[in-house]
Structure 1
Amino acid sequence: MFTQFKNIDTAFSHIKRFSLLMIIACLLISGFSIYKGFTMVDRAQQKVYILANGKVLEAAAGDRKDNIAVEIRDHVKVFHHYFFSLDPDEKVIQSNINAALNLADESAKRAYDNLKEKGYFNNLISANISQEILVDSTLVDLDAYPYVFTCYATQRLIRSSSTIRRKLVTTGTLRNVSRSDNNPHGFLIQRWQTLDNHDEPLNPSR
């Protein structure tokens, strides 16, 4: 009789240990599965897909601080492109200027108003002049905030009879703002001013 009870107690002890081991194993498997799931989600979030010319391209996402200099340079380049890439068409000029003014503060608006008051844009239209700009380089100082930049660019004023080249140097600061469709980099140019804008010798072959 006692032997039977002893066997039952031993069997129950074995079942108890086996059940405990199974519970621990299930917990370990569940924990590992959750960890792997979070890891896969994190990797997926690091992938960015860009649609360019009808093709889907994969890009790596990083922290803003890792790419801030690149984003600043592109923001400055886009601003100068819109502000200085003009055709002898009032609608094109206004559209580009509006896009540029979304990226800068009232200092850019004042520069536009001054040019407009001097009849600069009317002269482009009346003389059928197209204006292009090529940003050569942009220096950025990240040691202080707002960030300071200096932009070096080349302007081309194209007319039927000739092409005029101008060297352009501008400077300003940038502060962080919210990203939007009109301002995808999330920067605002402040205290923008032109340091130099002089004509280069005319090259008739260009």
Structure 2
Amino acid sequence: MLIKNIESKIRLSFWVSIGSFITAIIISIVSFVFAATMIRKERSQIYVLDNNVPLVATKTNIEDNREAEYKANIAAFHDFFFSMPPDDEYIKRQMNKAMYLVDASGIAQYNTLKEKGYYTNLVSTSSVVTCTMDSILLDMNTKKWQFIGKQKIERPSMITVRTLITEGGLQDIPRTVNNSHGVLITNWKTIENKDIINETKKLY
């Protein structure tokens, strides 16, 4: 009888020890996860001083804003490439800005328009070209996009409005002064650019 009591106590002690060990492991894991979460949370906060008063500024994940950055980059490129006054130097500056945002496909289109005398004609006819965006369709999985907008060409005697639909891809690159979003437009091409309005100006 005494031996059975001793064996029972030994088994009880064994299971209590096992239970304590497992509990200790669970507590350690929970503590580690909690500590890691708190560290990540603290790292997402920046403390700034405003008149010696500490304020908390929360950092945002770059990926959270990536879609907005992609669309902003596409919109900026089209504005640089398609909006211009009759000014040679201004056009060159705009094209220079645009070329930082696109691969060789953009340079090819620019050279084609230049060879056809497009920019020379704009300057010689005192034409003002503006680009307006209607929408940007973007697939975040494939990084394929389509720009839908209009192009307005205002000449001294006529106003022409054209459809403007282009498409291409996107490539992430390091951020630079000339490409602050760190996005390069790839395989860019114009799908549609046809006249929809030709209106003669009234001359007084």
Deviation of 1:156 after TM superposition, in Å, equals 0.6
Deviates more, 1:108-117 or 1:152-161: 152-161
- CA drift of 1:135 comes to 1.2
The residue aligned with 2:108 is: 110
Q: TM-score, normalised by structure 1?
A: 0.70
Normalised to the residue count of structure 2, the TM-score between the two structures is 0.71
Instruction: Evaluate the alpha carbon distance shift between residue 94 and residue 103 of structure 1 in structure 2; reply closer, same or farther with a 3 A threshold.
Output: same
User: Is the 2:44–2:59 Cα contact (8 Å) retained in structure 1?
Assistant: no
Q: Structure 2: any 5+ residue segments left out of the alignment?
A: 1-37, 49-56
Q: How does 1:187-202 map to 2 (within 5 A)?
A: 187-202=183-198
Residue by residue, what CA displacement relative to the aligned partner does 1:62-81 show, whole Å, maximum 9, x if unpaired? 21211111111100000000
Counterpart in the other structure of 1:44 = 46
Mapped to 2, the partners of 1:39 and 1:193 lie a distance apart of 43
In the TM superposition, 1:61-80 aligns within 5 A as: 61-80=59-78
Q: Which string of whole-angstrom CA distances, capped at 9 and with x for unpartnered residues, describes residues 120-179 of structure 1? A: 0000011010110011110111112xx111000111101222211111000000100010
Shift of 1:93: 0.6
The whole-number CA distance in structure 2 between the counterparts of 1:166 and 1:135 is 12
Which one of 182, 185, 202 corresponds to residue 186 of structure 1? 182
- Identity within the alignment, %: 32
Q: Distance in 1 between matches of 2:199 and 2:152?
A: 11
Name which of 89, 92, 95 aligns with 2:93: 95
The unaligned stretches of length 5 or more in structure 1 are 1-35, 48-58
Residues in 1 aligned to 2:84 and 2:157: alpha-carbon distance in whole angstroms: 18
The 2-side partners of 1:85 and 1:201 are apart by: 18
* RMSD, matched Cα: 2.5
